[in-house]
Structure 1
Amino acid sequence: MAQDQEVCVVMVPFLAQGHLNQLLHLSRLISAYKLPVHFLGGTTHIRQAKHRVHGWDPLVVSNIHFHDFPIPTFANSSPNPDHSTTRFPNQLVPSFKSAMHLREPFLKLISDLATTTKRIVIIHDYLMSSVVQDYSNFPNSEVYLFQPCSAFTTFWFHWEETKTLELDDENESLRAKLPSTEGCYSDEFLELMHSANASYKKLNNSGTLYDTSKVFEEKYLELLKNEKLKTGASKNWAVGPFNPVTITDRKNASTESIKLLNWLDEQQPNSVIYVSFGTTVSLTVEEAKEIATGLEESGVKFIWVVREADKVDIFDGESNRKVELPEGYEERVEKSGVGVVVRGWAPQLDILGHPSTGGFMSHCGWNSCTEGISMGVPIAAWPMHSDQPRNALLITNVLGTAIYAREWEQRDKKVDASMVSDVVRRLMVSEEGCAMRKKAEELGVAVRRSVEEGGIMHKELEDFVAQITRG
């Protein structure tokens, strides 16, 4: 392609699993427009992103190019929830700080691309603002912010900082229920956020991309657009859900995943609850045992992903700590057909998209929220840290497709098996739960339709591609 016709996209994700996953999925969407996409990160984290992505295979997309760079070594510590004062995965912060050393490799990559490319489009995670700051050295480059949170959560963070927008009655009511940020982040991570914010303010962003949909967040996208807060541009695009919304086949699934999905095939429609707290949450010994008992006592069939939160390098040996369950529990529930305990990586999209899955107990990370929403599955919300408490408020009080398993204000109270059992039954077999499931299914259909040609998400994506490929 001639130089004056060429456009390339450079993705600069933050190095936590949820953020890596989002921009890798976005790379798939943009690469479908025959645009070369360059995905930049630390060596271990690029490997992690490719290893864990599900719903498609990044290795068969010829115009996604991975650039993995070494970053300084750091302590590869494991989580220790039994002796921690916060749920936040503080063991990962050293690697997050080391990621700031990607600034020089980023500059070298942009410098190389600038000589052969008419326009370089840089899409960067908010937390990587300091890494991309040298883009302005190249007149043929432009930068777009990727906001990894929901528009709802982003709006409230902005509003609390500025209070420039007068709230309507609905949002005044929501403000009274807004979870505090106390306990959401560690002090070390807050320092990193403040540093990122200082760099972000210096960037001349051309607009903001959200992993969300106007189907369910149009109001908050419009509020953010009107605020024009610190982005330097009022334009935003809701090009989510980034994740695939249809699962085509199982040919690339692992043996363990196929066994799990075959078990689901044998269950009744909407009869199984899927329980997973993501990659950054570790349960204490006591919590794990109470949840185990509660799931079994509920009488509802379940798939439970029981794994430690990520350590810095997920490929560097086994975790020092294995989640302990009651003696004989795993064998007993599997033999009886009541449930399946998964110790490794689970094919979450396949599970949520399966007709036998009728509920999802989740920590409410935004990836899990969008996957649950797009697959039409109601959620039992159990927020643990970061943006999760506010995501939980969105899906419970605004969308009405979730109930609380545990509200943020109750986070320090002892987990009790009866609480878990009651929540599972409420979501899965009560009239309230059935009505919520119907609402979730209807929202899922609308979201999936939005991705099709002519749908609102498809139009947003086309609009963004037209922006970056303009003449």
Structure 2
Amino acid sequence: MGVQNMQAIENVAVVMVPFPAQGHLNQLLHLSRLISSHNIPVHYVASATHSRQARLRIQGWDPLSTHSQLIHFLEFPTPAFHSPDPNPHDPVKFPSHLQPSFDAALLLRQPVASVLSKLSPTAKRLVVIYDSIFPSVIQDVASIPNGEAYSFQSVSTFCISSYYWEALGRPSEIDDDVAEKIPSKGTATTMTSEMRKLVDSQSEYRKYSSGALFNTCRAIEAPFLDVLAKINAKQWAIGPFNPIEMTKNSTKQRYNYSDWLDNQAPDSVIYVSFGTTTSLTNEQIHAIAVGLENSGQKFIWVLRDADRGDIFVGDTRVCQLPEGYEERIKLKGQGIILRDWAPQLEILAHASIGGFMSHCGWNSCMESMSMGVPMAAWPMHSDQPHNALLVTKVLKMGVVVKDWAHWDEFVESLTIEKAVRELMASKQGEELRRRAVELSTAITKSVAGGDTRREFDDFIAHICR
């Protein structure tokens, strides 16, 4: 994405306000990189804990590059909050253990207001980009004479637009079968009542947004963007935020799995990861282990518990595998178990990866699509059931591991085994891989000189007007 006129953009400063969960921190840090590449200073505002978390997990780009030096991390203390262990036995898989962290984030209003006051005299225009989950934190932008705010929507437009289909019309791409599978808004199966209460408490503050930003592009979600264009006065689809090509400096680090991946055939390994907010029971972990082994397919599995609200405190639960399992699959050369956070984007970019078993968080979906990797969809909570439908039924680049109609049911090892074989060792799997590569190519073209490039340039021109 090209650098704009220097005279115009040196008068603009951007304040980035992310929500304190990994998938949200990550997306707005990627967006900070893109905006800073236009020689626009970006001030990334978060609690000290979550700022440190975001920086620790940078992947796909070089944080020491020239433009990255324009990203300034402004860290604030938040009142002490409880950071309990995740509960793998919660019937609803929403990460309720993170609620104290989410509630504490609402107290960032005063520090954010102070930053806006201090930065306002230093720029012709002060642009605030904030996570749409908590607009109350940026409400004081209304009192900044040269300030304006833009909401970042961290989920798919398929998910958001589905709530408007009844009023605005359902896209022709969505048949009755897909429409019937969509969870209703705010259903207790996807979100806790505490989180729903937080979201509802924010509705009165949405008026401060001058436009909406989406981490998607028309190559992926054109029909759903068209629905939202009917209700958004201004919107820009400027995704994917994540890099679509790995830089040399981002991939030079070798990991304990690097040599193993390098020695596998192209498209022969399935990557298994359920994100940073999923906590599984030992029984479900055992079923996954058996299913993967019995599939006969090569795999790399990130087996870790969900993040705490503060990832730097407390001992992390060690997820239990069947006795002798890890040694056996290593001896057979069938797979590798990773016990810590892993650079997912860089793993998905590896030539040996031919599939991705995922919870279908929007970050993971965008990264998988960008890298041309088909998915085995196992949604857990929030927008993930919607994303799983998008991947499997609309884009047709994935298989279903868990149908959301059976959200509360245990997934048996045989179900997992069949899904892995279907994705990795069948004619249908080959077709899904072809579709995924086709979509990745379209995304790359969109970023290079298509819709994403045009919309991003339009957004930069808009804030530099």
TM range (shorter): over 0.9
* Cα deviation code 1:302-358 (max 9, x no counterpart): 000000001111111321x21110011112111211000000111211111111100
> Does 2:463 correspond to 1:459?
no
> Does 2:199 correspond to 1:199?
no
Corresponding residue of 2:223: 219
Corresponding residue of 1:48: 53
CA separation in 2, counterparts of 1:324 and 1:441? Answer: 35
The unaligned stretches of length 5 or more in structure 2 are: 1-5
Q: Deviation of residue 58 (structure 1)?
A: 2.9
Residues 333 and 339 of structure 1 are in contact (CA less than 8 Å); yes or no, is this contact kept in structure 2?
Answer: yes
> Does 2:116 correspond to 1:110?
yes
Corresponding residue of 2:3: none
SS of the equivalent of 2:278 reads: coil
Q: Deviation of residue 451 (structure 1)?
A: 1.4
Corresponding residue of 1:281: 278
CA separation in 1, counterparts of 2:179 and 2:297? Answer: 35
CA separation in 1, counterparts of 2:88 and 2:10? Answer: 53
Corresponding residue of 1:74: 81
> Does 2:354 correspond to 1:358?
yes
Residues 279 and 309 of structure 1 are in contact (CA less than 8 Å); yes or no, is this contact kept in structure 2?
Answer: yes
Aligned match for 2:21, one of 2, 16, 23: 16
CA separation in 2, counterparts of 1:337 and 1:347? Answer: 22
SS of the equivalent of 1:111 reads: helix
Aligned match for 1:271, one of 261, 268, 271: 268
Q: Deviation of residue 389 (structure 1)?
A: 0.1
CA separation in 2, counterparts of 1:340 and 1:168? Answer: 42
CA separation in 2, counterparts of 1:468 and 1:407? Answer: 42
Corresponding residue of 1:33: 38
* Cα deviation code 1:383-439 (max 9, x no counterpart): 000000001111111101111111111222222111111110000011111111111
Residues 58 and 64 of structure 1 are in contact (CA less than 8 Å); yes or no, is this contact kept in structure 2?
Answer: no
Of the structure 1 ranges 455-464 and 379-388, higher mean CA displacement relative to structure 2 is found in 455-464
Residues 60 and 246 of structure 2 are in contact (CA less than 8 Å); yes or no, is this contact kept in structure 1?
Answer: yes
Aligned pairs for 1:371-386 (under 5 A) are: 371-386=367-382
SS of the equivalent of 1:130 reads: helix
Q: Deviation of residue 457 (structure 1)?
A: 1.1
Runs ≥4 residues deviating over 4 A: 1-5, 250-255
Q: Deviation of residue 3 (structure 1)?
A: 11
Q: Deviation of residue 59 (structure 1)?
A: 4.7
Aligned match for 1:413, one of 406, 409, 417: 409
Corresponding residue of 1:337: 333
CA separation in 2, counterparts of 1:261 and 1:447? Answer: 27
The alignment's C-alpha RMSD in Å is 1.7
CA separation in 1, counterparts of 2:413 and 2:8? Answer: 63
Residues 3 and 116 of structure 1 are in contact (CA less than 8 Å); yes or no, is this contact kept in structure 2?
Answer: no
Residues 395 and 402 of structure 1 are in contact (CA less than 8 Å); yes or no, is this contact kept in structure 2?
Answer: yes
Aligned match for 1:391, one of 383, 387, 392: 387
Residues 4 and 118 of structure 1 are in contact (CA less than 8 Å); yes or no, is this contact kept in structure 2?
Answer: no
Q: Deviation of residue 86 (structure 1)?
A: 1.2
Q: Deviation of residue 223 (structure 1)?
A: 0.9
Corresponding residue of 2:437: 441
Corresponding residue of 2:72: 65
Which one-letter code corresponds to 2:222 in the other structure?
E
Corresponding residue of 1:96: 102
Residues 10 and 40 of structure 2 are in contact (CA less than 8 Å); yes or no, is this contact kept in structure 1?
Answer: no
Residues 13 and 123 of structure 2 are in contact (CA less than 8 Å); yes or no, is this contact kept in structure 1?
Answer: yes
Q: Deviation of residue 188 (structure 1)?
A: 0.8
Corresponding residue of 1:234: 233
* Cα deviation code 1:210-267 (max 9, x no counterpart): 00011111111111001x1xxxx42211110000111133666655x2x312211100
Seen in structure 2, the aligned counterparts of structure 1 residues 409 and 68 have a Cα distance that, compared at 3 Å, is same
The unaligned stretches of length 5 or more in structure 1 are: none
Residues 3 and 117 of structure 1 are in contact (CA less than 8 Å); yes or no, is this contact kept in structure 2?
Answer: no
Which one-letter code corresponds to 1:354 in the other structure?
H
SS of the equivalent of 2:151 reads: strand
Corresponding residue of 2:400: 404
* Cα deviation code 1:180-209 (max 9, x no counterpart): 433100111111111122322x32x22110
Corresponding residue of 1:245: 244
Which one-letter code corresponds to 1:73 in the other structure?
A
Residues 378 and 436 of structure 1 are in contact (CA less than 8 Å); yes or no, is this contact kept in structure 2?
Answer: yes
| Alignment size in residue pairs | 455
> Does 2:340 correspond to 1:314?
no
